[in-house]
Amino acid sequence: MTETYSKSRQRAEIAFGNVQTQFFAKNQAAEELESDAQSQQAKTLRLREARLAREHSNRVSATSALIAKRARAR
């Protein structure tokens, strides 16, 4: 059941379809940017935790080495 519309109605439908397509494209782009930002924040947090753990491990081993050196010096 196809209806024939006037030329102005057809142009209006096409214009509305174009606007609607742009609207959905902008929403999708915004969602992709938000997703990228969230993944970047998660990666930053993971790397920060790994760095802090590595620094803590280095401090512990340096402290142990210093204590062992002092114990040998006595």
Amino acid at 10: Q
User: Looking up tokens 């790994």, which residue turns up?
Assistant: 50
Give the pLDDT score at 11: 92
Give the pLDDT score at 54: 98
Distances (CA, A) of 2 to 5, 15, 17, 18, 47: 10, 20, 18, 21, 59
How far, in Å, CA of 41 to CA of 30, rounded?
17
pTM higher than 0.85 for the full model? no
Domain boundaries, the chain: 44-73
pLDDT tens digits, one per residue of 23-72: 889 899 999 999 999 999 999 999 999 999 999 999 999 999 999 888 88
